A and B are shown apart, each in its own frame.
Chain A
Amino acid sequence: MASATTGSVQPKSAPANAAVSGRPRRGSSPRRRREIRAAWGLSAPFIILIAVFMAGPVVASLFMSLTDMRAADLRNPFAVNFTGLDNFVKLFSDPIFGQAALNTVYFVGVGVPLTILVALVVAVALDKGINRFRTFFRVAYYLPVVTSIVAISVVWRFLLQPDNGLINTVLSWVGVAGPDWLKDSFWAMPSLIVMACWRNFGNLMVIFLAGLQAVPRGLLEAAAVDGATGFARFRLITLPLLRPTLLFGGVVTGIGYLQFFEEPMVMTQGGPLNRTLSVSFDVFNQFGFGNYGYAAAMSYVLFLGIVLLTLFQFKLLGRDND
């Protein structure tokens, strides 16, 4: 963009132009205009695509969040009332949204660290401890990531069944009467967190494995020669070197978990008593009710949450020494 107006054409087109015209390049005005036109022409497809499919919907949803638009207004989308920040004000006195926000914080607060921890432990085990059947384990741990949520929900519902589910059957062997996991207002959320962790840690495991393999062996060997124990080597060498990988894993998992939707959708429908209703699910419901303005406002609050969580993670794990 900048080069086009200052007269220095892109390196790619410069030799081509010179070859065709055979003239030394001048900053003549008609020619410059032609170049500018060509530049715009070449970038037009992308600009149009972005404007129509990305910027357009974003502007539209922002507009929507400031109006009282409902499904019935779709035939005439501009005949709605501009309500300013009313939707956002209303959100903060909406007890169901409050519950959904709390649930989401609970899910992210427990789910993200748990998933990272499990993925890290498994990655270290695969990197160091397990030598036999390594490929088998890698595939096995990754399998849930590529399995359809529908199939997963069927299996997990069987596992979590109150009377004859596998988990409660095993618990009954040691004399514990397990709860009705998905219908119990205390246990429903932990059940979903464990399920989400099981489903997602494979992804992080692969990323962490790559990170672990990038740790220079020489450093570890030198530390070993100096008498550092295995745990000390892990804490003082591996972990600091793994920090960028951990940050990436945390950000990606955090963004995914904040939008947590599929698990309650297929397992609990947000129940019991809205205890597993996530913000995304609430947005989905509100769109379903036709409250487009209100739902759009909710999505922007969720978006703000994602930005804040990501900033927090950068603060926690990002580079602070350079």
Chain B
Amino acid sequence: MRSFPTNRRTALGVGLAAGAAALGVGACGRSSGAGPAKQGQPISSGPAKGALTMWAMGTEGDKLPALAREFEKQNPGVKITVTAIPWDSAYDKFTTAVAAKKTPDLAMIGSTWMGALASANGLDPMPPGLIKPADFFPGPMRSTMVGGATYGVPWYAETRVLFYRTDLAAKAGVVPPKTWPELKTFATALRAKGGARFGLALTPGGEGSWNTFMPFAWQAGASITAKDGKTFSLNSPEMVRALDFYRSMYAEKLVPPTQPIGQPVQDFVAGRVGSFVSGPYDMTNLADLGGPGFKQKYALAPLPAGRKSASFAGGGNLAVFVDSKNRDAAWKFVRYLSQPATQVRWYRTSNDLPAVTSSWRDPALANDKYLAVLGQQLTSAQSPPAISTWEQIAKSIDGAVERMARQTQTASAAAAQIQQECQQVGTGV
């Protein structure tokens, strides 16, 4: 028994020493200030060489090898391995890979993750002159800029527009709304004369509902961050106006109060909902659910404008990791993927909307009346700021959207609450 206390003391000593060592190093703290915006290093000229690994999510991951083979043909000596990873676990996979310094050379990255990955020093700043930012839609382009530097290239774009039933609109004698008051008369008419149970459906809270709400805020002239990019401006009068408008849609019972799984697409096909706000992915869902003939019964329209026209710009970006052993070749592949002709080819392969504006002049896109609306909306679509705390800010906005839909709070109280919550979280800059 004599030795036991000694051993315990030793163990305790080791523990304390480890703790002290940890704290000792910890006391050094983080380096103060973010420093000047990082400059990308130029890349070599000539064809790409060596092996590349790339991660991409969902359909993109499945279909990308087709383009990779083409790039390999143009650049003999390069070998690209594409790994498809599921969307659900992608964000965690990226953060873990960056932390472990075991990343692929390049990857497709969700446009709202750029802030977090760039702030973790995981991404390589874009080489100067790789692409011309003016060639891309401004919203998606902005999502690649973190703290003044550019960390990637928009690959494909998506946005939010108004889906509406043309047959119900004809029956009700209305045309797609151009302003907020018109949106209300449109929804009322689709219900009263068109025969729908609800004229319009919006997202009543839950994860990602900011996608549907923020277009209204941007239309009102609101902005998530203040001019300095370090503080939030979520309690602006413009924000309050947008929240109040969203709330009034629920208070006046123009939209369904809740949204079960699979809605509003099912109700839209059945004619119970006359219109809804969503992105291009729902065109696929509508085709699956409504059959081939359903495309005659609906159309897309740009979202109604408030003070100005605006929507949400999402999509996927291409980025190269700092831990890449072959960054020159990786950036060359990125450059290849963002050329207008490749973008059109990619649209034909995957149905992803090109992020390069000139690709939209191709007949495959220009002659499609559905795509034309999306292309038009993309010119005014905005991205949320690329900040490292974005997921948490989004959650806070989602909460406010839910409180508006349930009318448990006034618009000004909700604006004050999200401003306070987000200020506490900070921008991570």
Instruction: State the A residues within 8 Å of B (CB).
Output: 1-2, 4-6, 55, 59, 62-63, 66-67, 70-75, 78-82, 157, 161-162, 180, 183, 185, 269, 271-274, 285, 288-291
Contact = CB atoms under 8 A, between A and B. Distances in A.
B95 A79 contact: no
B258 interface: yes
Interface of B: 1-4, 7, 15, 18-19, 22-23, 25-31, 95, 98-99, 101, 116, 119-122, 205-207, 258, 260-261, 388-389, 391-392, 395, 399, 402-403, 406, 408, 428
B99 A75 contact: yes
Contacts of B408: 273
A40 to B, nearest CB: 11
A24 B385 CA distance: 80
A74 B207 CA distance: 26
Given A73-B30, A285-B395, A271 B402 contact: yes
A80 B406 contact: no
B99 A82 contact: no
A161 B402 CA distance: 20
A223 B2 CA distance: 53
Contact of A63 (B2, B22, B99, B119): B22
Nearest to A6: B2
A183 to B, nearest CB: 5
Contact of B3 (A1, A63, A81, A157): A1
B120 A74 contact: yes
Contacts of A183: 258
Contacts of B261: 157
A289 B388 CA distance: 9
B209 to A, nearest CB: 11
A73 B31 CA distance: 11
Given A2-B1, A4-B3, A272-B402, A80 B99 contact: no
A285 B392 CA distance: 9
B428 A70 contact: yes
Contacts of B7: 1
Given A183-B258, A274-B399, A74 B95 contact: yes
Contacts of A290: 95, 116, 388-389, 391
Given A6-B2, A290-B389, 10 more contacts: A2-B4, A4-B3, A72-B121, A74-B98, A74-B99, A75-B99, A78-B25, A271-B206, A272-B205, A290-B95
A5 B2 contact: yes
Contacts, number: 101
Nearest to A79: B30
Contacts of B260: 161-162
A103 B414 CA distance: 22
Given A2-B2, A71-B99, A273-B406, A289 B389 contact: yes
Contacts of A70: 388, 428
5 contacts: A63-B23, A66-B23, A269-B206, A289-B391, A290-B391
B392 A289 contact: yes
* The 3 A-B residue pairs with the shortest CB-CB distance in the complex, in nearest-first order: A74-B99, A5-B3, A72-B120
A189 to B, nearest CB: 16
A78 B24 CA distance: 9
B406 A82 contact: no
A239 to B, nearest CB: 41
A81 B116 contact: no
Contact of B120 (A1, A5, A75, A81): A75
A81 B258 contact: no
A78 B28 contact: yes
Contacts of A5: 2-3
Contact of B207 (A55, A162, A269): A269
B147 to A, nearest CB: 12
A71 B122 CA distance: 11
A192 to B, nearest CB: 17
Contacts of A289: 389, 391-392, 395
A289 B425 CA distance: 10
Contact of A72 (B4, B388, B399): B388
Contacts of A274: 399
Nearest to B11: A55
Contacts of B28: 78-79
A288 B391 contact: yes
Contacts of A285: 395
A268 to B, nearest CB: 10
A5 B7 CA distance: 11
Contacts of A6: 1-3
A78 B30 contact: no
B406 to A, nearest CB: 7
Contacts of B391: 288-290
Given A80-B29, A271-B205, A75 B19 contact: no
Contacts of B122: 75
